Amino acid sequence: MAFWGSDEIVDEPLYGIKRTEFQSCEYNGGAIVALACNEFAIIAGDACLGSANIKHAVNKNKLFQLSDNCILGSTGCWGDVLAFTSLVEKQKAMYGQDNSNTLSINDVTKMLSTLMYSERSIPYNITSVLAGLDDQGEGVVYSYKHEMCCRKLIYKAAGASCANIQQMLDNRIGLTSLQLEMPWEISEERAIEIISDAFMSVSDRDILIGDTVIINTITADGIRFLMTSIMKFSSSALSCVFLRGNIRDFLHMKVLDLNIDNQLSWGLCGFKKYFCDLQTQYECIL
């Protein structure tokens, strides 16, 4: 043992500063997709709850109804999601006792911003998307992140694989689409189809996204509930997509990350030559 200021050789190892691997929050995955259209808004979320490479549950609903015309979808740390939504429910109950009218989408937006970004030392490790109808009956979507950010959007993808889903939404209904589909011109069936395709494109590539998707459609008549099972890509599913005319999803790798050269790994031996012929015809048209 060497003392301070002595010339003795230290006979014990010098340990540096240790960094603990403790994490205050656990990321439990999940994805939320919302789309605002002319007279309705659609918000969807998967039902999987996992961490790392483990799935803990496959029946967790990430969509929470706040009023008759708006639904909140939250993903991230499931403990923070439950804590935040319970706080929102308490504030909503207090508002109902003091006011006779129901919460509007503008009131809910201000309430969520106040509860999420104030009076808390550590922000909620969640990403939330609010979808609903405004006073004019038009669909609106608001995005909330754990940092102080609230934006009004037309469509939004949040959570696991949100980058891939956002690229697909940009291609289908955004300004990067070859065949532009305006959100205010999309029918309800077409919007559900786009959201289902978005989850289908990432469900088999991200373990934190489940195969069961819960879709809520918000209209002036009420909220419609739909639960669907997303099947993995098969030859029949791909042929149905081609029949719908979405050839660009398979010709652009940024959308579904499909490559003509590695179709064998997808079990599409019979479709490889067909894809190449379609790509050649598509390039000739352009």
pLDDT recorded at residue 11: 57
What's the sign of the alpha-carbon dihedral 166, 26, 49, 238? positive
Better-predicted residue by pLDDT, 68 or 266? 68
How confident is the model over 136-147, as pLDDT tens digits? 888 999 998 766
Q: What is the pTM of this model?
A: 0.71
Cβ-contact 173, 140 below 8 angstroms: no
Least confident of 46-50, 111-115, 215-219, 246-250: 246-250
In this predicted structure, the answer to whether residue 269 has a pLDDT above a threshold of 70 is no
Give me the mean pLDDT over the 267-283 stretch.
46
In this predicted structure, the answer to whether residue 281 has a pLDDT above a threshold of 60 is no
Per DSSP, the residues of the chain read: -PPTT--PPP-S-----------S------EEEEEE-SS-EEEEEE--EEETTEEEES----EEEEETTEEEEEEE-HHHHHHHHHHHHHHHHHHHHH-SSPPPHHHHHHHHHHHHHSS-SS--SEEEEEEEE-TTS-EEEEEE-SSS-EEEESEEEEETTHHHHHHHHHHHHSTT-SS---GGG--HHHHHHHHHHHHHHHHTT-TTS-SEEEEEEEETTEEEEEEEEPPPP-HHHHHHHHHTT-THHHH-HHHH---GGGGGGGT-GGGHHHHHHHHHHHHHH-
Residue 72: pLDDT band by 50, 70, 90 thresholds?
very high
Cα first-last separation, the chain: 79
How confident is the model over 17-44, as pLDDT tens digits? 555 566 677 888 889 999 998 889 999 9
Whole-number percent of the chain with pLDDT over 90: 19
Q: Cα(66)–Cα(142) distance, rounded to whole angstroms?
A: 14
How long is the chain? Answer: 286
Strand ordering across the sheet containing 41-46? 155-159, 31-36, 41-46, 212-219, 222-229
Q: Cα(237)–Cα(253) distance, rounded to whole angstroms?
A: 18
How confident is the model over 196-218, as pLDDT tens digits? 888 888 887 888 888 889 999 99
Residue 4: pLDDT band by 50, 70, 90 thresholds?
low
Residue 249: pLDDT band by 50, 70, 90 thresholds?
very low
How confident is the model over 160-201, as pLDDT tens digits? 888 888 888 888 886 654 455 555 578 888 889 889 888 888
Task: Give me the domains of the chain, ranges plus CATH numbers.
Answer: 31-232 (3.60.20.10), 238-286 (no CATH)
Give me the mean pLDDT over the 51-80 stretch.
89
Query: Two tokens at 172?
Result: 């289908």
CA 40, chain centre distance (Å): 19
Better-predicted residue by pLDDT, 107 or 25? 107
Q: Cα(202)–Cα(195) distance, rounded to whole angstroms?
A: 11
pLDDT recorded at residue 78: 92
